[in-house]
Amino acid sequence: MENNFFREYARRGFLRDLLYNNITSVKEIWELQKKLNIDIQPNTVMAVTVDNYHSQTRNKSEIQRQNLRLAVLKCIEEASAKFDAMAINMEEDLYAVLFYMESSEIEPVEKAVSIGKYLQEYVETKTGVSVTVGIGRRYKDILDLHLSYKDALLACHHKFFIGKSQVIHIENIVPFSEGLELFSIEVESQLSVKILSCDKEGAFQILDELLEDIIEHKFVNPIIMKARLIEIITTIVKVGLEAGAEQEKLGILSGRFVQEVLRSDTILDLRNQMREVISGVIEEISQGRRHMNLQVFEEAIEYINDNFDKDITLEDVSGYVHISPYHFSHELKKFTGMNFIEYLTKTRIKEAKKLLLTTDLSIGEISNQVGYDDPSYFGRVFKSMEGMPPSKFKVSKKIHM
């Protein structure tokens, strides 16, 4: 039993070494095959990836993730046994299948695809897990088997545009372009402007137009595309910081979404992740501005409370807090429910009522102390606010008290 365990462990190590090109001697390969009782001489490799593995397992425990991986591996091994292939787990969501294709096959690509479809359907039926199969070229020399594995991985990457649950042969795809002309600095600047102005829909539109162009071309390398989008994430996070968003929150946000972008299986997944990044940064900018507005208007109100007895204007207060008069007036209305004149008047009349009740100052003196040079005008304003002139207010309240 123990010998079987070690033999299986050694067999997996040998297969991985073949695929990683860690063995460079045919003689060494033959000797290891003999020791490990491997009769198959593989010349073709399939790569099997679990679709959306990271999003599926994000909230699962390590035991649950391990059970999923083992279930998929078991099914791949069972299906592989039907055509004398060998299966091996390579990464969390990645498996390799090594098999032999007859050189006499008239249509080797079609034959390999039919094997891949059988394996894919078997796994999906047994586990309910969506998988994509990439198939590499057939190579005569076993030392070139790692090239077939690279082919298979590259074929899998094409599900980014084709979609999930696919069987893709390297011979049936157009090579990826390495160019990124679509990701221009101008587009990045336009996106930054929309985010800075908290125009979420406008930012989404720019993103969608960018990705629609990519979908139309279809052959931009997803790895390079993701790297460029991560640069754009970095840019919009900087925009958020400059706009007053909280640094720690943006750091956590960008770190999480960089990982999600890298793990996006398809361009649709990538679009959704980029939308979440944009939404998150805009929300942090909005919260930062709300916090800044609170501070600004607290300072503005304190300034009004300290200077209401002077002939202050909207321009005086907005200048004090470094905001345009129009913006200050608009935001003050939202902050207090009153425009500038209403708030100033309310503050002055509140102080006048206190002086009327607690001092023996004349109406003229009180008028002057609360910022009105004309006692008659003060009287009219007071009456409109309180329903009676200041003199009557003073008498009636004192009697009541």
Taking 70 as the threshold, does the pLDDT of residue 161 lie above it? yes
Paired strand residues for 96: 47, 88
Integer Cα distance of 288 and 250 in angstroms: 11
* Cut 0.85: pTM above it: no
Find the Cα–Cα–Cα–Cα dihedral 137, 139, 144, 147, rounded to 10°: 0
Q: What's the CATH class of domain 308-400?
A: mainly alpha
Q: Which amino acid is at 40?
A: I
Q: What are phi and psi of 23, to 5 degrees?
A: -115, 125
Cite the DSSP H helix spans in 105-198: 108-127, 145-157, 159-162, 185-196
**10, two tokens:** 């050694």
Please report which confidence band the pLDDT of residue 401 belongs to, taking 50, 70 and 90 as the band edges.
Answer: very low
Across 10-24, 175-189, 200-214, 387-401, the highest mean pLDDT is recorded for: 10-24
Q: Which helix (H) or strand (E) holds 87?
A: strand 86-91
263: DSSP letter? T
Domain boundaries, the chain: 2-172, 185-289, 308-400
DSSP-assigned letters across all residues of 178-243: ---TTS-HHHHHHHHHHHHTT-HHHHHHHHHHHHHHHHHH--B-HHHHHHHHHHHHHHHHHHHHHT
Q: Which residue has the tokens 């394996």?
A: 119
User: What is residue 399's predicted lDDT score, i.e. its pLDDT?
Assistant: 47
User: What is residue 327's predicted lDDT score, i.e. its pLDDT?
Assistant: 73
Q: What are phi and psi of 37, to 5 degrees?
A: 55, 40
Mean pLDDT of 52-67: 90
User: What is residue 195's predicted lDDT score, i.e. its pLDDT?
Assistant: 86
pLDDT tens digits for 247-261?
Answer: 888 888 888 888 888
Please report which confidence band the pLDDT of residue 394 belongs to, taking 50, 70 and 90 as the band edges.
Answer: confident
Mean pLDDT of 370-385: 91
User: What is residue 204's predicted lDDT score, i.e. its pLDDT?
Assistant: 92
Q: Are 40 and 98 in contact (CB under 8 A)?
A: yes
Residues of the chain with pLDDT > 70, as a percent, come to 91
Q: Which CATH superfamily is domain 2-172 in?
A: Reverse transcriptase/Diguanylate cyclase domain (3.30.70.270)
Taking 80 as the threshold, does the pLDDT of residue 310 lie above it? yes
Mean pLDDT of 193-199: 84
Mean pLDDT of the chain: 86
Integer Cα distance of 134 and 203 in angstroms: 35
